[in-house]
Amino acid sequence: GVLGAGFMGAGIAAIAAQHGTVVRMKDTDTGRIGRGLAAVRSVIAESLARRHITRQQFADQMILVSGTTDYSGFGNADVVIEAVFEDLDLKHDVLREVEPVIAPEAVYASNTSTIPIGRIAEAAVRPERVLGMHFFSPVHRMPLLEVIATAKTSREAVVTAVEYGRALGKTVIVVNDGPGFYTTRALSAYMNEAGMLLDQ
């Protein structure tokens, strides 16, 4: 399941389909779903244009992706990845809406790059199933995936997220929940040093 059919949500859906996963994208209206499906098609069509896949494989991958404006189909999801705007209240609303619909053993992952996962998990009935899966943009080109665990995240949820990330062809690192996770913290140090060099 992918919550949000925008740039990141569609990118996640596209690579999931390319690796054989049935994907259900949810957004607020059919226009957004249509644009999300068009973005998925564009990513998969790139592989076709480069002759990495055949026309039949293109069709087979596209048929794996569907969209909805409700939560139909989400009860079958093993992993639900939220990719909505970077707003804590919105992320809380989305988590509260979808959690009663998904299976108790499903993993709920936020694609946030800035909001602590522990803060997002505050809205969860099952915080042990909540973690971060921080994909990088554009999703189909960037190999790194950060899996972010809170103090309450279960080992099983982390293992599930890591294995799924590897199944998507990503290089997966597991990090603890903290400001900037790993990559943004490292990038901040580089940017600070670059600024000092520029000043000098």
Taking Cα atoms as reference points, which of 149, 198, 200, 197 lies closest to residue 172? 149
The residues assigned a catalytic role are 146
Signed CA dihedral, 160, 165, 168, 169: sign only: negative
- State yes or no: pLDDT of 137 exceeds 90: yes
Read off the pLDDT of residues 49-74 as tens digits, 9 standing for 90 and up: 999 999 999 999 999 999 999 999 99
pLDDT(187) > 90: no
What's the pTM?
A: 0.92
DSSP per residue over 91-141, as a string?
HHHHHHHHTTTS-TT-EEEE--SSS-HHHHHTT-S-GGGEEEEEE-SSTTT
Q: What is the pLDDT of residues 20-32, one digit of tens each?
A: 999 999 999 999 9
What digits encode the pLDDT tens for the residues 58-115?
999 999 999 999 999 999 999 999 999 999 999 999 999 999 999 999 999 999 988 9
